[in-house]
Structure 1
Amino acid sequence: MNSQNGFLISYLKYGENDAVLHCFTEEDGFQTFFLKGMYAKRNKKKALLLPLNQLSFSLTPVKGNGIQTISKFELLKNNDIYTDVKVNTIIFFISDFLNHILRNESKNMSICREIEEFISELTEKNYQAHLVFLIKILKIQGVSPLIGGEDFLDPETGTFSSTAHHQLFDNTISLIWKSILQSENPYEIKIRSSFRKQFLDSILVYYHYHITDFKTPVSLEVIQEIFQ
């Protein structure tokens, strides 16, 4: 019996009662697990299937390259954050985001720590935490912008220059990027609500340039509506 700890990224129903879970584990990075009987009427644990819940899995060994089956699982940490509509929207957006960009990611404890810190920020009602978190993930993956003395971030080259190269990356948005990249405590930086939509759009543009086959999360429209 093998056991792993990790974050639930996404899940889907399989057949009548079963489920397939996508998780990011401390031991092996992005993993896909099969969970039998999850949607059976008497199974109360389906309430634990919430994006970014931190879980402990007991896994049944498999032969060959089959999907590992979860024999049982438990909640590692109870985060009472899913009743807040804004926080819930942020969680679903980020889990949607991570489900795509972490697919080929192997063991990476830095990512696990960042997810944990991000959730901690959400418990404190930090409604801009997702903006900082996405830039911190870029730093972990080694594709964040190079800090320079100029005023405008060029999203294609990942460098700062003296002239604007993209309409979203004006002086104000570029300065927010630079502040987050340079700060030791970026979650403490306050981003004015009037700039958050443009800043999030700029992050998506940067990801399109630097993350292979990146696709805009389908939940983007929802998070933009919530924070208008």
Structure 2
Amino acid sequence: MIVTTKAIVISSLRYAEADLIVSCFTEVDGMKSYMLRNILKSKKGKLRTSFFQPLSQLELIANHKNKGTLEYIKEAKIVYPYQTLHSDVLKSSLVMFCSEILKSTIKEEEPNPQLFQFLSYAFQWLDLHETYANFHILFLLKLSQYLGFYPDDSNVDYPYFNIQEGSFEKQFNDHFSEEGPEVEALKQFFNQDFSTFSEIKLQKQTRTATLNLLLNYYHYHSQGFKTPKSLAVLQQLFN
């Protein structure tokens, strides 16, 4: 079936000498993977390699057979040209981190328009703003809501955060209970959005510990989750 859909590029992998396998999160059909034949050699085709950088926001005309096989893109165009996301070194590290997170957590070939709108807005926000040191922490927290395991913050004043239960607790229960500066930092991100979170000020060690806390939380709640390879680079640049 030929579809026209917005899409966010998640990853691309070189295949053979001139082909790319590109994974995209589409607005109409969720995650899709496409075979782009000879794109690395072609200079006159409708598809350009530059279109398929991680997190690029595109409009696709594609053939979706929906049989779990590689699909085919007929046409593509950029619908939101980023100004800084792929050229700024710090933002580029966040791009790689976020794309790895999404590749590890979004598996379904089914529409999730609320998640799509969240991602589209988040990356456009990052592109346009210059204060974003804690972006990845808020991004992970908000993403968990769309993935179905947002923490229960009804007892957010309690000192312990149970990463298995995803809730705050008054007393230490087992080895899943976490406490300390990273838990107190995490509490600050609840009820925040991208227009207000820049007011949160964290020391370098606390930011790293809070990020690791959220990644451990993802390990318990997202099947097959893998720690991003870009994490080390990200932490080095933001520290």
TM-score (normalised: structure 2): 0.86
State the match for 2:80 in structure 1: 77
Please report how far the alpha carbon of residue 90 of structure 1 lies from its aligned counterpart in structure 2 after TM superposition.
0.4
129-138 or 64-73, larger mean C-alpha shift? 64-73
> Is it true that 1:118 corresponds to 2:122 in the alignment?
yes
> Is it true that 1:217 corresponds to 2:228 in the alignment?
yes
Q: Identity over the aligned pairs, expressed in percent?
A: 23
Name the CA distance, whole Å, in 2 between partners of 1:97 and 1:189: 25
76-85 or 170-179, larger mean C-alpha shift? 170-179
Whether contact under 8 Å (1:168, 1:201) holds in the other structure is: no
User: Could you tell me which of 159, 163, 167 is aligned with 1:155?
Assistant: 163
User: Could you tell me which of 182, 187, 208 is aligned with 2:191?
Assistant: 182
Aligned positions of 1:1-228 closer than 5 A: 1-40=2-41, 42=43, 45-60=48-63, 62=65, 66-81=69-84, 82-104=86-108, 106-123=110-127, 124-125=129-130, 126-147=132-153, 148=155, 149-164=157-172, 169-183=178-192, 187-194=197-204, 195-228=206-239
Give the secondary structure class of the aligned counterpart of 2:38.
Answer: coil
Whether contact under 8 Å (1:30, 1:104) holds in the other structure is: yes
Q: What residue ranges of structure 1 are gaps of 5+ in the alignment?
A: none
Give the secondary structure class of the aligned counterpart of 1:23.
Answer: strand
Give the secondary structure class of the aligned counterpart of 1:22.
Answer: strand
Please report how far the alpha carbon of residue 186 of structure 1 lies from its aligned counterpart in structure 2 after TM superposition.
5.6
CA spacing shift, 1:167–1:196, aligned 2, 3 Å: farther
Name the CA distance, whole Å, in 2 between partners of 1:116 and 1:169: 32
CA spacing shift, 1:61–1:167, aligned 2, 3 Å: closer
CA spacing shift, 1:191–1:38, aligned 2, 3 Å: farther
Name the CA distance, whole Å, in 2 between partners of 1:208 and 1:61: 31
Please report how far the alpha carbon of residue 13 of structure 1 lies from its aligned counterpart in structure 2 after TM superposition.
1.2
Letter in 1 for 2:200: K
Q: What residue ranges of structure 2 are gaps of 5+ in the alignment?
A: none
Whether contact under 8 Å (2:162, 2:176) holds in the other structure is: no
Please report how far the alpha carbon of residue 64 of structure 1 lies from its aligned counterpart in structure 2 after TM superposition.
5.6
TM-score (normalised: structure 1): 0.90
Whether contact under 8 Å (2:10, 2:99) holds in the other structure is: yes
Name the CA distance, whole Å, in 2 between partners of 1:38 and 1:222: 29
Whether contact under 8 Å (2:161, 2:177) holds in the other structure is: no
Name the CA distance, whole Å, in 1 between partners of 2:236 and 2:20: 30
Number of aligned residue pairs: give it: 228
Cα RMSD for the two superposed structures: 2.3
67-76 or 34-43, larger mean C-alpha shift? 34-43
Letter in 1 for 2:142: K
Give the secondary structure class of the aligned counterpart of 2:107.
Answer: coil
Letter in 2 for 1:100: S
Letter in 1 for 2:232: E
Please report how far the alpha carbon of residue 193 of structure 1 lies from its aligned counterpart in structure 2 after TM superposition.
3.6
Please report how far the alpha carbon of residue 42 of structure 1 lies from its aligned counterpart in structure 2 after TM superposition.
2.0
CA spacing shift, 1:188–1:61, aligned 2, 3 Å: closer
Letter in 1 for 2:14: K
Please report how far the alpha carbon of residue 80 of structure 1 lies from its aligned counterpart in structure 2 after TM superposition.
1.4
Name the CA distance, whole Å, in 1 between partners of 2:94 and 2:139: 11
Letter in 1 for 2:168: F
Whether contact under 8 Å (1:53, 1:75) holds in the other structure is: yes
Give the secondary structure class of the aligned counterpart of 1:224.
Answer: helix
